[in-house]
A = this chain, B = another copy of it.
Amino acid sequence: MAKLYVIGIGPGGKEHMTLKAIDTIKKCDAIVGYTYYIELIKDFIENKEIIKTGMKGEIQRCNMAIEKVKEGLNTCIISTGDAGLYGMAGPILELAEDIEVEVVPGITAAFSAASELGAPIMHDFCTISLSDLLTPWEVIEKRIETAAQGDFVISIYNPKSKGRVKHIEKAVEIISKYKSKDTPVGIVKHSGRKGNERVITTLENIDFDIIDMMTVVIIGNSQSSIKDGCIVTPRGYKI
């Protein structure tokens, strides 16, 4: 019986893939993914059936992957980062009936970006996506507000898109009600892959123009500081 694997390929650089992600892709007959993500794993997909679709084709991709399994092919559907966070694991499990599904975890952008910024997370943290395509903005706003009240380190995914340029400014405005203006902020573009850039700044000095849809923004907690060009959030050890 063929099987469906939902694979997180990590941030994009081959070096950040897990052995299991690589081995699973290698042993599958069919690979389904967003065109840009397929490009990231091109080293591993020779002689396989490749099914690519464009942006916003998520549910179509899931259905195509399930179809391939029903045809008897061991199939994987890939997400960047971890497939279980804003990825394909959820919709696949919602849609799949009578087929075996396995989720293979990967490095999500928050951790990849954090490693490039120093140690900004370290303690209790949350991720919030600013995309209101699938989630009402009021829900997102409530999460931003409660995360800031709880002094979580906050990792913002999807901070901007073409049609959604001001959400990140609104988010920072809400966060600034609770966090000091000196709170360290890390902005990482193309984390863990080619084209990687990072900026370290503070909550009051964010240059919103450098943020785009390929960016992750990490905002520290009340204990975070900047040291030698890194953001460091202490765990609480006596140093």
Binding site for B on A (CB under 8 A): 8, 10, 14-20, 22-23, 58-59, 82-87, 89-95, 103-108, 111-112, 114-116, 118-129, 133-135, 139-140, 142-143, 145-147, 149-152, 192, 227-228, 230, 232-239
Tell me, rounded to whole Å, the shortest Cβ–Cβ distance linking A95 to chain B: 6
Set of chain B residues within 8 Å of A228, measured between Cβ atoms: 93
Which residues on B sit within 8 Å (CB–CB) of A58? 237
Interface of A is mostly: mixed
Residues of B within 8 A of A18 (CB): 10, 15-19, 107
Q: Are A122 and B85 in contact (CB under 8 A)?
A: yes
Residues of chain B within 8 A of A124, CB atoms compared = 126-129, 140, 143
Q: Which residue of chain B is the closest to A149 with respect to CB atoms?
A: B146
Q: How far is the CB of A135 from chain B (nearest CB, A)?
A: 6
CB <8 Å contact, A103 and B90: no
Q: Which of A89, A108, A228 has its CB near the most chain B CB atoms (within 10 A)?
A: A89
List 13 A-B pairs, Cβ < 8 Å: A15-B19, A83-B119, A84-B115, A85-B121, A90-B232, A94-B237, A94-B239, A95-B239, A103-B116, A105-B114, A134-B237, A146-B147, A146-B150
A232 & B115 in contact (Cβ 8 Å cutoff): no
